[in-house]
Amino acid sequence: MKKKFLFSVLLSLAMLPAAVFAGNVAEAKSAPEQINIDLSNPLPNWVDASREKEQDISRVRGVPAAVTPADFRIPAEYEPVGAVVLGWAGYSQMLSGIARAASDAGAHVWAIGGPSSVSGVSNYLSLPLRIDSVWVRDYGPFGIASGSKTPGIVDAVYRHYQYRVYDDAIPQQLGRMKGINVYGMNIILDGGNLMVDSYGNLFMTNRTYLWNRHLSREQVDNALKTALRVKKIISFDYAGYPGEPEDGTGHIDMFMKLLNDHTVLIAKTDDEPYKSNNEKAIKYFQNRMAPDGQPYKVITSKGWVSERAWYTFTNSLIVNNTVVMPSYRGRQAEEQEAIAAYKAGMPGVKVVPVNSDSSIVSGGSIHCVTQTIPVLPKEVKNSGNSDIVVPVNFSPEEYTLPASPILKHLIKLAEHN
């Protein structure tokens, strides 16, 4: 989990000026060098140096920066969901269970690289696009939202973009396929470290500031507010802060979940450093008023460490009136307590447990492998999944940019550390 090489590269990248990531997309001469990834053996939520390789340092990911419309907003996860996106890489049993639960909850299912069909799943579409990993929550299309007329996607810089270029291109591809505008944001941000309520408050961890050390905290906040149109940013520590995260991600969804505008689920544990970290989060919400005028209600579910992996029930997916919740073998008592917690926080909700033993040891669970698309405006929604046009020869080099000499130098320094 704690790879010095990865940390050095990320730290070096974070210290780059924003201009390195900005600019127009340049036409590439050749595809980036890529190790063939066996998707039946999924990559973890951190870089696996034995299986991954940095892309050609003469070419770096670039997405044109653009200003989102004034009426742009990011829906909360407990608002109506039109579709659930999955990145299909291994974990077939878990992904199939998620797809069935999402379909039963009335959502379409878009499976990137998925099988032609999944038993028991209606309104299903397999998108034949290439991906590097299963962690679609982090690489996109997070930030898709509908304004009064036109939906749009905010595409941040995925923290593994220099390794997983196919993952990083997915928001652009889905936007193009559905005719939705994509707005580049020159901030390193993973979707798993982003939660919003319906009032425009953004919750995340301080990991985002560490990824963007070339900017001040104020500059990062201003960039997030400008691109995502959020009003207030609340940031928490993560287990292991300010060093490398104990869970391998440092994402907020690994210990916290907003259930509605005034109810939050937080993992409670006796295992340090999670115990101290999560208790600080609980303390923040206690005796505090929520934006809807009600006092925050804090509900807890158990979390624990086993063989260095962090197990949590907060890494769930909300699809309309259904919660798709992680389930772990041998933990029936904790599972029943977690189901009761969700039902207490969301009266009338249906909770569907899906076994996640296979993925949690790699740094993620249900929330990490899914992304939600809100109910879109009528003119987009009526186009239907069957109208999606899939590019025949998709290649991520369409979205790359020549690297600066500074970046080349920093990467070479990292290679020798």
State pLDDT tens for residues 257-310: 999 999 999 999 999 999 999 999 999 999 999 999 999 999 999 999 999 999
| Helix 405-415 / helix 4-14 crossing angle, nearest 10 deg | 160
Among 15-24, 192-201, 397-406, the range with the most confident prediction by mean pLDDT is: 192-201
Mean pLDDT check: name the lowest of 4-8, 89-93, 158-162, 183-187: 4-8
Please tell me the distance from the alpha carbon of residue 228 to that of residue 92, in angstroms, as a whole number: 33
Q: Is the CB of residue 414 less than 8 Å from the CB of residue 14?
A: no
Structure tokens at 221: 């906040």
Mean pLDDT check: name the lowest of 92-96, 182-186, 248-252: 182-186
Query: When comparing pLDDT for 169 and 303, which is higher?
Result: 303
* DSSP codes of every residue in 304-333: EEETTEEE-S-S-EEETTEEEEEE-TT-HH
- Mean pLDDT across 195-218: 96
Q: 3-state DSSP helix/strand/coil percent for the chain, to nearest 5?
A: 30, 25, 45
Whether 55 shows a pLDDT value over 80: the answer reads: no
Structure tokens at 47: 């870089």
Please provide the average confidence, as pLDDT, over all residues in the chain: 82
Position 146 scores a pLDDT of 66
- Mean pLDDT across 86-99: 96
- Mean pLDDT across 32-53: 81
- Mean pLDDT across 14-41: 44
Q: Determine which helix (DSSP H) or strand (DSSP E) holds 109, and give its type and residue range.
A: strand 108-112
pLDDT, tens only, 148-161: 667 889 999 899 98
Three-state DSSP class for 299?
Answer: strand
Position 148 scores a pLDDT of 62
Please tell me the distance from the alpha carbon of residue 369 to that of residue 385, in angstroms, as a whole number: 21
Residue 90 CA: distances (Å) to CA of 1, 37, 93, 133, 135: 20, 11, 9, 9, 11
pTM of the model: 0.84
Position 378 scores a pLDDT of 56
Hey, what CATH topology would domain 4-20+43-53+64-415 get? L-arginine/glycine Amidinotransferase; Chain A (3.75.10)
Residues 6+ away with beta carbon under 8 Å from 52? 35, 37, 43, 163, 164
pLDDT class of 20 with cuts at 50, 70, 90:
very low
Question: What does the longest C-alpha to C-alpha distance in the chain come to?
Answer: 58
- The residue type of 37 is I
CA 30 distance to own-chain centroid: 29
At 245, give phi and psi (nearest 5°). Answer: -70, 140
Position 67 scores a pLDDT of 86
Mean pLDDT check: name the lowest of 182-196, 260-274, 331-345: 182-196
- Mean pLDDT across 189-207: 97
Beta-bridged to residue 232, according to DSSP, are 201
Residue 358 CA: distances (Å) to CA of 93, 303, 370: 10, 17, 15
Mean pLDDT check: name the lowest of 31-35, 175-179, 367-371: 31-35
Mean pLDDT check: name the lowest of 13-17, 106-110, 191-195, 314-318: 13-17
* DSSP codes of every residue in 254-266: GTEEEEETTEEEE
Q: Is the CB of residue 43 less than 8 Å from the CB of residue 51?
A: yes
Please tell me the distance from the alpha carbon of residue 179 to that of residue 187, in angstroms, as a whole number: 24
Query: When comparing pLDDT for 376 and 260, which is higher?
Result: 260
Whether 344 shows a pLDDT value over 80: the answer reads: yes
pLDDT class of 141 with cuts at 50, 70, 90:
confident
Whether 143 shows a pLDDT value over 90: the answer reads: no
- Mean pLDDT across 4-22: 34
Position 145 scores a pLDDT of 75
